[in-house]
Amino acid sequence: MSVSAFLRAMLTTLRQSWAGLRQWPASDVAPLVLFIVFALIPVFAGTGAEIYLLSLFTRVMIFAIAALALDLIVGYGALVSFGHAAFVGLGAYAVGILASHGISEILLALPLAIVVAGLFAFATGLVCLRTKGVYFIMITLAFGQMAFFTASSLAPYGGDDGLTIRARDTLLGFAILKNDRALYYAVFACLLGAYLLCRAIVGSRFGRVLRGARENPIRMASIGFEVFRYQLIAYVISGALAGLSGFLLANATSFVSPAYMSWQRSGELIIMVVFGGLGTLYGAIIGTAAFLLTEEWLSGLTEHWKVIFGPLLVLVVVFARGGLVGSAAKLAHWLGDDPVGRGKESAAAIQADILRRAQALRTLASGHSARLRPLMHTCCNGAGRAARRLRDEIAGLSSQLTRRFRGG
């Protein structure tokens, strides 16, 4: 068997198995696999390197929450926040400051972290959201820097050097986060919750308005949506989620410092989101894992790992458009593409939609008064005719497509 024949056979097998998997949309499979892997890490990490792997993946999941929060506004709202590390830092400082006063109650620290970050997002969002594009990037950076310098000047709480937290937070006096494994699963639960929340938001009417405003804010405003309010709410949700990430970070590292809020940290968060693939949510999680694991791996190889990491970033941007998720989708597309099938699917969907609408119109008309009825019927018949015409046209196009691709 020649090499090329072998490769071709491999490719066929891959295509076929992929075709089976394709029935399930990638936006469901990928996060499912991801969360299963995260859930199983502590099981695999049962041997020697346990602490190391556990703490590494705890970090990954904590930053994944912040990246998710960022993806919610960058990917779905085109609001590129260059100061998101400030929200993480605020959440962390809420824990640190409470702890330095001897309060380490989750029921107090967690809501405080989220509320403080959310309030900061509300106050700054009122100003930031007046600007657009690169000006938005810079003004969020400005507020991030202000938070950074405020934290550096908090002399009673460590100033530049930061603040060590003696013990992790407790729930009603029980040290439930004391065990590293327990902390891991707590973080896991938070990430899962954050992901489901973001997904629900994105899929809701609110999320559709947000996406509409991303594509064309003027049009959204002209059809009656107050774009500013939607964006502000999204910004506050995102900030609050980042605050949650900060709460977890402070507990995981037992340390808080202004460095958590530095602009480099904000830049890294943006890289994580874009690395994975904007506007996919699970891409943010994948991107965070890829970023932190690559960093960990390279820094284990050589002291000068940044010489490799920098060009790697450039290469990813230049060659892998749409991040890791986008590249994977392109690969899948290439492996098991079925344009005719897709065309038929969408044609069928459009047909169904038109018919449904026509039916709805008819029902609407039949409910009206006798005087209106004839008029409505004329309208409906017109719509029905148009729908039929469209349906025929689509059917014609679809058979043309079939002929072109199948050579029939």
Partner 1 sequence: MSGGPQALPVAVGARREAIVGLMSLSLLLVQTLNGLQLGVLLFLIAAGLTLVFGVMDFINLAHGVQYMLGAYFAVMFYALTGNFLLALVLALLAALAFGLLLEFSIFRHLYDRDHLDQVIATFGIIIFLNQAVKLVWGAAPLSLPMPEILSGSVSLMPGLIYPVWRLVIITSGLAVAALLYGLVTYTRVGMLVRAGATNAPMVSALGVDIRRLFMIVFGFGTMLAAFAGVMIAPILSVEPGMGDTILILAFVVIVIGGVGSIRGAFLAALIIGLVDTLGRSFSVDILRLFMAPSPARTVGPALASMLIYLLMALVLYFRPTGLFPAKGR
The least distance separating partner 1 from the CB of residue 312, rounded to whole angstroms, comes to: 7
Q: How far is the CB of 240 from partner 1 (least distance, A)?
A: 21
Structure tokens at 324: 């890791």
Extract the tokens encoding 189: 């639960």
Q: How far apart are CA 303 and CA 299, in angstroms?
A: 6
Helices of type H across 78-177:
85-100, 106-128, 133-152
Nearer to partner 1, 41 or 69 (CB): 69
Closest approach of partner 1 to the CB of residue 295, in Å: 11
Nearest to 132 by CA among 252, 236, 214, 23: 214
For the bound state, the minimum distance from the C-beta of residue 237 to partner 1, rounded and expressed in Å, comes to: 21
**How far are the Cα atoms of 2, 159, 293 from residue 183, in angstroms, in the given order?**
53, 27, 20
317 three-state secondary structure: helix
As given in the structure block, the two tokens for residue 338 are 């079925």
Q: Pick the closer one to partner 1 by CB: 135 or 405.
A: 135
**What's the half-sphere exposure (Cβ side, CA atoms, 13 Å) at 28?**
5
Give the residues lining the site for partner 1 (CB under 8 A). Answer: 74, 80, 127, 130-135, 137-139, 141-143, 145-146, 149-150, 152-153, 155, 263-264, 267, 270-271, 274-275, 278, 304, 306-307, 309-314, 316-318, 321
Q: Cβ of 236: how many Cβ atoms within 10 Å?
A: 20
As measured in angstroms, the least distance from the Cβ of 117 to partner 1 is: 18
Contact indicator for 120, 238 with CB cutoff of 8 Å:
no
Question: What single string gives the DSSP state of each residue in 43-107?
Answer: HHTTSTTHHHHHHHHHHHHHHHHHHHHHHHHHHHH----S-THHHHHHHHHHHHHHHHTT--BHH
Q: Least distance to partner 1 from the beta carbon of 154, Å?
A: 8
The nearest distance, CB 141 to partner 1, in angstroms, is 7
| CB nearer partner 1, residue 153 or residue 378 | 153
Nearer to partner 1, 54 or 313 (CB): 313
CB-wise, 49 or 138, nearer to partner 1? Answer: 138
Question: Which residues are paired to 164 by β-bridges?
Answer: 255
| 302/304 Cα distance (integer angstroms) | 5
Which is nearer to partner 1, 181 or 306 (by Cβ)? Answer: 306
Q: What phi and psi, each to the nearest 5 degrees, are found at residue 171? A: -105, 110
Q: Judged by CB, which is closer to partner 1: 271, or 340?
A: 271
